[in-house]
Structure 1
Amino acid sequence: MSSLEFSRADRLLVVAPHPDDETLACGELIQCALAAGASVRVLLASDGDDNPWPQRWLERRVWIGAAARRRWGERRRAEALAALEVLGAGAIEVRCLGWPDQGLTRALLADDAAVTLLAAELGTFAPTQLVMPALADRHPDHSALHVALALALLRTRLPCRCLRYGVHGGSGPTGTPLPSAPPRLQRKLAALACHASQLALSRRRLLAIAQRPEWFDLAAAPAADSAKALAEPVTLRLTAQARWPLRHELLVLAASADGSVSRIRAPLGLPGRTPFAIDTGAVTLRLQGGDLQLARTGSTSPLVAVWAKLHRSEPRLIVFDRDGWQQAEA
Structure 2
Amino acid sequence: MPAPPRFTAADRMLVVAPHPDDETLAAGIAIQSALAAGAAVRVLFATDGDNNPWPQRWLEKRWSIGAAERARWGARRRLEAAQALAALAVDGRVAQALHFGWADQGLTDALMQDDRAVAALAEEIAAFAPTSIFMPALDDRHPDHSALHVMLELAVLRAHTVVQRYCYVVHGGAQAADASADPLRVARKVAAMEAYGSQLALSRRRLGEWLARPERFLALERPRPPELDAVGGLCIPLGLPGRSPWRHEVLLVIAARDMTLRLRGRLPRFAHDGIDVVLTDASAGVAVAARMVDAALRVVPPVAPLGAWAKRHRAGSRIVVFDRTYWHGARDAAPSAAPLVERGVAGPG
TM-score of the aligned structures, taking structure 1 as reference length: 0.91
**C-alpha distance in 2, partners of 1:267/1:304?**
25
Partner of 1:82: 83
Find 2:316's aligned residue among 299, 311, 314: 314
**C-alpha distance in 2, partners of 1:279/1:136?**
23
Partner of 2:296: 291
Counterparts of residues 274-285 of structure 1 (less than 5 Å): 275-278=275-278, 280=280, 282=286, 284-285=288-289
Indicate how the Cα distance of structure 1 residues 230 and 8 shifts in structure 2: closer, same or farther if over 3 A, else same.
farther
Q: Provide structure 2 residue ranges, at least 5 long, that are not aligned to the other structure.
A: 333-349
More strand by share: 1
Partner of 1:109: 112
SS in 2 for 1:303: coil
Counterparts of residues 156-305 of structure 1 (less than 5 Å): 156-169=159-172, 172=174, 179-222=180-223, 227=225, 230-231=228-229, 232-242=232-242, 244-256=244-256, 258-270=257-269, 272-273=271-272, 275-278=275-278, 280=280, 282=286, 284-289=288-293, 290-297=295-302, 299=303, 302-305=304-307
Q: Contact 1:166–1:173 at 8 Å: present in 2 too?
A: no
**C-alpha distance in 1, partners of 2:301/2:244?**
33
**C-alpha distance in 2, partners of 1:139/1:106?**
14
Q: Deviations over 1:200-233 (max 9, x none)?
A: 00000111111111000012443xxx65664421
Indicate how the Cα distance of structure 1 residues 283 and 295 shifts in structure 2: closer, same or farther if over 3 A, else same.
farther
Partner of 1:15: 16
**C-alpha distance in 1, partners of 2:301/2:80?**
46
**C-alpha distance in 1, partners of 2:301/2:247?**
28
Q: After superposing the two structures, state which structure 1 stretch, 28-37 or 275-284, moved more.
A: 275-284
Q: Contact 2:134–2:166 at 8 Å: present in 1 too?
A: yes
**C-alpha distance in 2, partners of 1:55/1:327?**
36
**C-alpha distance in 1, partners of 2:94/2:322?**
34
Q: Deviations over 1:23-72 (max 9, x none)?
A: 00010000000001100000000000000110011011111111001101
Partner of 1:55: 56
Following superposition, the deviation at residue 2 of structure 1 comes to 6.1
Following superposition, the deviation at residue 133 of structure 1 comes to 0.4
Following superposition, the deviation at residue 180 of structure 1 comes to 1.4
**C-alpha distance in 2, partners of 1:168/1:296?**
31
Indicate how the Cα distance of structure 1 residues 173 and 130 shifts in structure 2: closer, same or farther if over 3 A, else same.
farther
**C-alpha distance in 2, partners of 1:267/1:283?**
13
Q: Which one-letter code corresponds to 1:95 in the other structure?
A: L
Indicate how the Cα distance of structure 1 residues 169 and 276 shifts in structure 2: closer, same or farther if over 3 A, else same.
same
Following superposition, the deviation at residue 173 of structure 1 comes to 7.7
**Taking every aligned residue pair, what percent have the same amino acid on both sides?**
48
Following superposition, the deviation at residue 285 of structure 1 comes to 3.2
**C-alpha distance in 2, partners of 1:203/1:279?**
42
Partner of 2:127: 124
Q: Contact 1:283–1:296 at 8 Å: present in 2 too?
A: no
RMSD: 2.2
Q: Which one-letter code corresponds to 1:78 in the other structure?
A: L
**C-alpha distance in 2, partners of 1:98/1:247?**
29
TM-score of the aligned structures, taking structure 2 as reference length: 0.86
SS in 2 for 1:45: strand
Q: Deviations over 1:94-120 (max 9, x none)?
A: 110000000000000000111000000
Indicate how the Cα distance of structure 1 residues 2 and 23 shifts in structure 2: closer, same or farther if over 3 A, else same.
closer
Q: Provide structure 1 residue ranges, at least 5 long, that are not aligned to the other structure.
A: none
Partner of 1:144: 147
